[in-house]
Structure 1
């Protein structure tokens, strides 16, 4: 059979099984999820700091960047908040709905393409976020893209896909993040 007769095909995967294997083989310690989520939050703050250099509207948001961790033993939740770039609903689908897509890596590539340096970020592989499923039966993300009014919500149990949409009535005090 000649090469011209061969059909090109995309790999297929049982995503829930692949995600489970990846989470439990990449991470040997369950506590690593906290480091990974803090790194993501830090990268979001770094990206916004960089974006503010050229965007006057984003400069109005200020530069008091922070990452906060809140434990609620009664509810059995850990909440990590930041006031970085935030994500729109489309961003949530693109970055959290696509395993191994790194927003930090894409941002670093864009900087390199422009011949700029700095703000490389910590997360380069696009899998750290999913470490949350080591300790959580469900992960919820509320996010508001910097400079946008809408708050979006992403929810998943890490096995059966995810749900995404507007965060109707969500308590969201930050202007972004």
Structure 2
């Protein structure tokens, strides 16, 4: 296990995001799904263009799970390209100084406007610390043997250790704080995906426990179900006649 201190700009950015976008904290899921979609795009490109990857079994998807109760969590897994140890250090431990500087300079104090900027400057991942006390990132890069686990509380720094993982891809687990526990909910997740990510060009699945109750309202049985919760049809591939004004508005928001 190796311990690292956040680059100075990361600490400043985390403070800025958690305080200036506080009332718009739901955008964290939009940003995580957007990053997962990018990873799937890269993996798809590799399997189509690189002979070393054409034989890989690639089933592009994003899966979301949650656990409610006393220690709620929200987990998002993608089957994308994954990250190496170096990728983790460069992407999650540091930020391109130009991107950070530009993001900070463009912050306007208008939460709606600033919530759009966060994705444009590649710092959207850090929004998850608005709703989580700790974040784990388990990942394995396509074509590599080693897998890695990145862990941080979003305060002092982060740790990277070796992980056991067979398939390439990334799993992000958020240990939800008091403000974030509302997102350990089927209804909340489904609505946010419809609101921000319905256009994503890959299927997004939600795994949850369906509970049956008896006539007295007592829990009778439960079973785990997985449903697709987005259209998975890219905005730009749909016929213009099929698009409504709200589709353009939602796509612009993302």
How far does residue 176 in structure 1 lie from its aligned partner after superposition? 3.7
CA distance 1:138–1:45, change in 2 (3 Å): same
In structure 2, the partner of 1:61 is 56
Query: Aligned residue for 2:199?
Result: none
CA contact (8 A) 2:17 2:127 kept: no
- Residue in 1 that maps onto 2:109: none
- Structure 1: give runs of 5+ residues left out of the alignment: 1-11, 103-122
Q: Does the 8 Å contact 1:143/1:176 carry over to 2?
A: yes
Alignment TM-score, normalising by the size of structure 2: 0.51
* Greater percentage in strand: 2
Aligned counterparts of 2:36 and 2:137: Cα–Cα separation in 1: 12
The aligned length equals: 143
The residue number in structure 1 matching 2:16 is 21
1:16/1:101 CA distance change after superposition, 3 Å:
closer
Displacement of 1:175: 3.8
After superposition, the CA RMSD in angstroms is 2.4
Q: 1:95, 1:101 within 8 Å by CA — same for their partners in 2? A: no
Q: Which runs of 5+ in 2 are unaligned?
A: 1-6, 99-118, 171-254
Which range moved further: 145-154 or 71-80?
A: 71-80
Q: Distance in 2 between matches of 1:44 and 1:14?
A: 24
Which structure has the bigger radius of gyration?
2
Q: Does 1:44 align with 2:39?
A: yes
Asked if the contact 1:71/1:79 (under 8 Å) is kept, the reply is yes
Q: Name the structure 1 match of 2:78.
A: 82
Q: Equivalent residue for 2:140? A: 144
Quote the offset at 1:16 in angstroms: 2.5
Question: 2:167 corresponds to which residue?
Answer: 174
Say if 1:73 and 1:174 are closer, same or farther in 2 by CA, change over 3 A.
farther
Answer whether contact 1:51 1:58 (CA < 8 A) is retained: yes
Q: Does 1:131 align with 2:124?
A: no
For residue 14 of structure 1, report the CA deviation from its aligned partner.
Answer: 6.7
Deviation sequence 1:92-132 (CA, Å, 0-9, x none)? 00111113579xxxxxxxxxxxxxxxxxxxx5422110011
Alpha-carbon separation, structure 2, partners of 1:159 and 1:32? 20
Contact 1:67 1:81 in 2 (8 A): yes
